[in-house]
Chain A
Amino acid sequence: MPVDVAAGVIENRALSSEYHVLALAAPGVAAAAAPGQFVMLKAAAGHDPLLRRPFSIFEVLRDRSGVTRGLTILSKRIGPATRALYGARLGDRVPCMGPLGRPFTIVDPPCEAWMIAGGVGLAPFATLAESLRARGVRTTLFYGARTGAELFYLDFFRALDVELILTTEDGSLGERGRVVAPLDRRLSGRSPDTPMMIYACGPEGMLAAAARLATRHGRPCQVSVERVMGCGLGGCYSCVVPMRGDDGGVHHVRSCLAGPVLAADQIVWV
């Protein structure tokens, strides 16, 4: 059951001139959250911008005794709402509703987990990596960005024993190019006997490519999609994704309720 709190800003840490991590005092939302779920944030009071914006829950914050303090989001400054959040100050109140949506299905050993992240698509993988680690799942993160300075939280994932495979478009860190290139090579080199789950989040083109590769190599793949979302609760029908149904037909599925985590092989990629 989602709750809505006027969450105080605990911290707003700029990672670059575009990316930041915003920490919100929403312990109830954070404590109930599962990896892959999202919150709807109202970036500014008043009618401009009017609607909330969906954000994957990036981290669940706990104090030393393990009590949940809140959550963070990883956000990239793109439009009016993300610009307002980028400028949020300590103590500002940000209406935060959640947790919402269907989380990732988390695998157990001996199944391996491969997480594919593009840019701000890293967001759902911090909590997922923690859950996988708690289950003892061997985990790899394929993480691509435009440039090395935009590859964030590498030490966080290293501390969780996540193997990192990095790519940048300018070649400044890791392999030059897109993240799906090493994914393709690694999939080709992997024995089909090793069970594996692919998790992907990032730009639509990357998701489609990851989904194609997963299918070609016979691997299951869960993608976390991002859509323009009006309400987050199934009310507005704006965030739909065309998906193949059990009846063989293609249906518009609300990604806020059925997703944001969806089975990649059922999505009709355009």
Chain B
Amino acid sequence: MDLSVRIGTLTLKNPLIAASGCVGYGVEYADVVDLASLGAIAVKGLFLAEREGHPPPRIVETPAGMLNAIGLQGIGVRRFIDEKLPELRARRATVIVNVCGTTLDEYAEVSRILSDAEGVAAIELNISCPNIKAGGIQFGCSLHGTHDVVKAVRTVTRLPIIPKLTPNVTDVASFARAAEEAGADAVSLVNTFLAMVIDVESRRPKLSNVVGGLSGPAIRPIAVRMVYECQQAVRIPIIGMGGIAEARDALEFLIAGASAVQVGTANFVDPFIWSTLLDGMVDYMQRHQIARIADLVGSIDTRAKDQEWISS
């Protein structure tokens, strides 16, 4: 049974990727997960410099979901390379680095520095974090901005470039197309949905940042729809994410058109989830006699069928 998938020039041993912002720098999870057993790990977003992020409270739960407004706290790209990357290499993790920037130059510079480092498999461009004021989502909410960031990074690296798209736009597929035209090797989606929770007793927002990004099972059907739309719009691979909590959720994204999936919030609930997900996918492949999981990608069947329940 072949679980491997291809993301541009990158081959992953299976389609499961730990989502950026949800596993720290990966090393935090080395005691609970065999990092090499994952398809890849997308580490926490990195700018050039260190950042402290927003004051707490930074998360709040909602029905089947959670909002976060961490504010991209991070140690900066150089400290990541010095302090975290060696251990990730030693543990043979496939590392996708989530790259942030407030300017085009910063995206390019962080990407260039990472290209010179040993042990980086791909770059995920964070143009979709809803929780920072400058940069990021400003690029991701503009077709030109998306194009420009990808183009700027394309000129400085041969690593696969994967812009991570925001769902907070009218037509996400057009952003996938803009990324493809600018030379992206793949796109990942969705980042979180901009959201808000208010404590009615105090009339105060529950997050220090007032607004935050909604993730978790609550968003999954919207995320699947967006992956499906992008799959019809671009030829580059899609990495799907949004609320995956069990194997059938991951399979849903693959069938909708994702070549691989990322899991974030569910990893908070169960850091041991990866083997459960993989076992469930293998079981599915056996039941459906699928030899290569890649054959499942985009295999959705939307042909008209007798649907008696509609007419009756």
Q: Is A2 an interface residue (CB 8 A)?
A: yes
A236 touches B31 (CB 8 A): no
Q: Is A15 an interface residue (CB 8 A)?
A: no
Cross-interface CB contact of B70 among A227, A236, A242, cutoff 8 Å: A236
Complex CA–CA separation, A20 to B154 (angstroms)? 58
Chain B positions within 8 Å of A47 at CB level: 63-65, 216-218, 245
Residue of B whose beta carbon sits closest to that of A252: B52
Q: Is A174 an interface residue (CB 8 A)?
A: no
Q: Is A51 an interface residue (CB 8 A)?
A: yes
Q: A42-B269, A233-B28, A235-B29 are in contact. Are A51 and B70 (CB under 8 A)?
A: no
B58 touches A251 (CB 8 A): no
Cross-interface CB contact of B268 among A227, A236, A250, cutoff 8 Å: A236
Chain A positions within 8 Å of B21 at CB level: 236-237
Residue of A whose beta carbon sits closest to that of B53: A252
Q: Is A76 an interface residue (CB 8 A)?
A: no
Q: Is A228 an interface residue (CB 8 A)?
A: yes
Q: Is B267 an interface residue (CB 8 A)?
A: yes
B269 touches A236 (CB 8 A): no
A2 touches B32 (CB 8 A): yes
CB distance from A28 to the nearest CB of B (A): 14
Chain A positions within 8 Å of B57 at CB level: 228, 238
Complex CA–CA separation, A241 to B56 (angstroms)? 8
Complex CA–CA separation, A170 to B3 (angstroms)? 64
SS class, residues of chain A in contact with chain B: loop
Please encode chain B, from 264 to 286, with 1 for each CB lying within 8 Å of some chain A CB and 0 for all others: 01011111100000000000000
B22 touches A235 (CB 8 A): yes
Please encode chain B, from 210 to 241, with 1 for each CB lying within 8 Å of some chain A CB and 0 for all others: 00000011100000000000000000000000
CB distance from B310 to the nearest CB of A (A): 29
A2 touches B61 (CB 8 A): no
Chain A positions within 8 Å of B70 at CB level: 236-238
CB distance from A4 to the nearest CB of B (A): 6
CB distance from A100 to the nearest CB of B (A): 10
Q: A2-B32, A233-B29, A238-B68 are in contact. Are A52 and B56 (CB under 8 A)?
A: no
Chain B positions within 8 Å of A2 at CB level: 31-32
Q: Is B66 an interface residue (CB 8 A)?
A: yes
B52 touches A231 (CB 8 A): no
B55 touches A48 (CB 8 A): no
Cross-interface CB contact of B66 among A51, A234, A235, A252, cutoff 8 Å: A51
Chain B positions within 8 Å of A231 at CB level: 22, 267-268, 271
Chain A positions within 8 Å of B66 at CB level: 50-51, 230
Q: Is A239 an interface residue (CB 8 A)?
A: yes
Q: A51-B61, A52-B269, A231-B268 are in contact. Are A236 and B52 (CB under 8 A)?
A: no
Please encode chain A, from 16 to 57, with 1 for each CB lying within 8 Å of some chain B CB and 0 for all others: 000000000000000000000000001000011111100000
Identify the interface centre among A48, A234, A235, A242: most chain B CB within 10 Å of its CB: A235
Interface size on B, as a range, is 35 or more
Chain B positions within 8 Å of A236 at CB level: 21-22, 59, 68, 70, 268
Chain B positions within 8 Å of A50 at CB level: 61, 64-66, 216-217, 265, 269
Residue of A whose beta carbon sits closest to that of B267: A235
Q: A228-B57, A240-B53, A242-B55 are in contact. Are A235 and B63 (CB under 8 A)?
A: no
Chain A positions within 8 Å of B56 at CB level: 227-228, 238-241
Residue of A whose beta carbon sits closest to that of B216: A50
Q: Is A1 an interface residue (CB 8 A)?
A: yes
Q: Is A257 an interface residue (CB 8 A)?
A: yes
Q: A238-B68, A252-B73 are in contact. Are A233 and B271 (CB under 8 A)?
A: yes
Complex CA–CA separation, A97 to B31 (angstroms)? 13
Residue of B whose beta carbon sits closest to that of A236: B268
Within A180-231, the residues touching B (CB, 8 Å) are 227-228, 230-231
Contact sample, A vs B, 10 pairs, CB 8 Å cutoff: A4-B272, A47-B63, A51-B269, A228-B59, A231-B22, A234-B29, A237-B58, A238-B58, A240-B73, A257-B28
Residue ranges of B at the interface with A (Cβ–Cβ < 8 Å) = 21-24, 28-29, 31-32, 44, 52-53, 55-61, 63-66, 68, 70, 73, 216-218, 245, 265, 267-272
6 closest A-B pairs by beta carbon, nearest first, are A234-B28, A47-B64, A231-B268, A238-B59, A238-B58, A1-B31
List 8 extra interface pairs beyond A4-B272, A50-B61, A251-B52, CB under 8 A: A47-B63, A50-B65, A50-B66, A51-B61, A230-B268, A231-B271, A236-B70, A238-B57
